[in-house]
Structures are given as C-alpha cells and as structure tokens.
Amino acid sequence: MARQHTDQDELIRTMCELGSDVLANQKMQSLRNYRQHGDVSRYEHSLSVCYWALVIARAMRVRVDERSMVRGALLHDFFMYEWNDPNARRPLHGFTHAGEALKNASEVFELNAIERDVIKKHMFPMNITPPRYRETVFVTLADKWSATLEVIRTARQRRIVRMCRMVGLM
Ligand SMILES: [Fe+2]
Ligand SMILES: [Fe+2]
C-alpha cells in the first residue's frame, strides 16, 4: 500500500513538473468552473486523465514523450462551455469538442505534433481518424477510463483527486 502511494505521489509530481506552464495558465484554471461528470470539474477530469495516461504508459513499459503526453492530456478538453447544459443545444458536442479544444489550445500554447494529435483525436473511435502516436492512444484510453471512474465515483478516483489537491494542483 505504501509503495502504491509513493508511486502515485511520483506520478502527480511528474504531472506538476511537465505540465507546469499549462497548469499555471489562467484559461486552464478557468476549467475549474465547468462540470465534467457529476461533481468533478473539467480541471479535475483533465488532471485525472493525465494521471491515468502516465499509469498506462508506464505499465506498458514503452517509450513515450511524457512531456508531450502530459501537456496533451491536460489540454484534451480545453473548451469553455457546459457540454451537458440541456439549453445549450450542442447535440454534436461529442464529435466537435476535440477540434474546438485544439483551436483554443493552439491560441494559447505552442503545441508540437504529438500534443496536437492527442487533443484532436482523443475521442477516437467516435471521431474516426485514428491516433498517430502512442501518446494519443494512452490518453484516449485514460479519458474513457477516467470518465467511467468519475461517473461511478470510485474510492480510488476520489483518492487521486484528493492527492492532487494536497499538492496544490486543483
Ligand atoms: Fe473530450
Ligand atoms: Fe475528457
């Protein structure tokens, strides 16, 4: 158990270091104001996806550009509206928000090819263009996994959210 917590600490520190400029950005911070699933904010969801992408990548023991994967994961849902507001009438949200996130993120950050691919294709297979990089595959899997945990509200997911709060991330 202690080992597991040490690993979680280390992953969260990695997120902090590699994503520091993204996390410090005001627009990124504004994602705290939007709900993603249940009582989880989009900011919390983005951090959680980043965390799980690192977990998956390390479990697979393959080389990844962790900095690009972290930045892409943090920015994968970089859009500023309530997607689940019934009055907003956004029936195509599932198909369009990745493109909108990429547009928004490109206006604020200098993005490399991996980061752009992660953001643009994280909704695969709903958006049918397949990922080009393994970093995108891991973020895509982490997004679905994290969303599932947020919806069913697991204790483990809550612990990860709490740990991120403790290091001042959320
Ligand atoms: Fe998304
Ligand atoms: Fe997401």
- The pLDDT assigned to 151 comes to 87
Comparing CA positions, the residue from 146, 145, 140, 123 lying closest to residue 40 is: 146
C-alpha 45 to ligand 1 mean position (Å): 10
* Percent composition of the chain: helix, strand, coil (DSSP 3-state, to 5): 65, 5, 30
Ligand 1 ion: Cβ-proximal residues, 5 Å cutoff: 77
- The pLDDT assigned to 18 comes to 96
C-alpha 147 to ligand 2 mean position (Å): 7
> pTM for the whole thing?
0.91
Would you list the DSSP string of 32-82?
GGSEEETTEEHHHHHHHHHHHHHHHHHHHT----HHHHHHHHHTTT---S-
Which stretches in the chain have pLDDT values below 50?
none
C-alpha 47 to ligand 2 mean position (Å): 10
Q: Parallel, antiparallel, or unpaired: how do β-strands 40-41 and 35-37 relate?
A: antiparallel
- The pLDDT assigned to 6 comes to 66
- Tell how far CA 110 is from the center of its chain: 18
The ranges assigned to domains in the chain are 2-166
- Residue 62: partners with Cβ closer than 8 Å, 6 or more residues away: 134
Q: Which ligand is nearest to the CA of 74?
A: 2
Comparing CA positions, the residue from 100, 134, 141 lying closest to residue 119 is: 100
Please give the DSSP secondary-structure letter assigned to residue 19. T
C-alpha 122 to ligand 1 mean position (Å): 7
Distance CA 7, CA 3 (A): 6
Distance CA 90, CA 75 (A): 20
Written out in words, the top-level CATH class of the domain with range 2-166 is mainly alpha
pLDDT digits (tens, 9 = 90+) for 17-36: 999 999 999 999 999 999 88
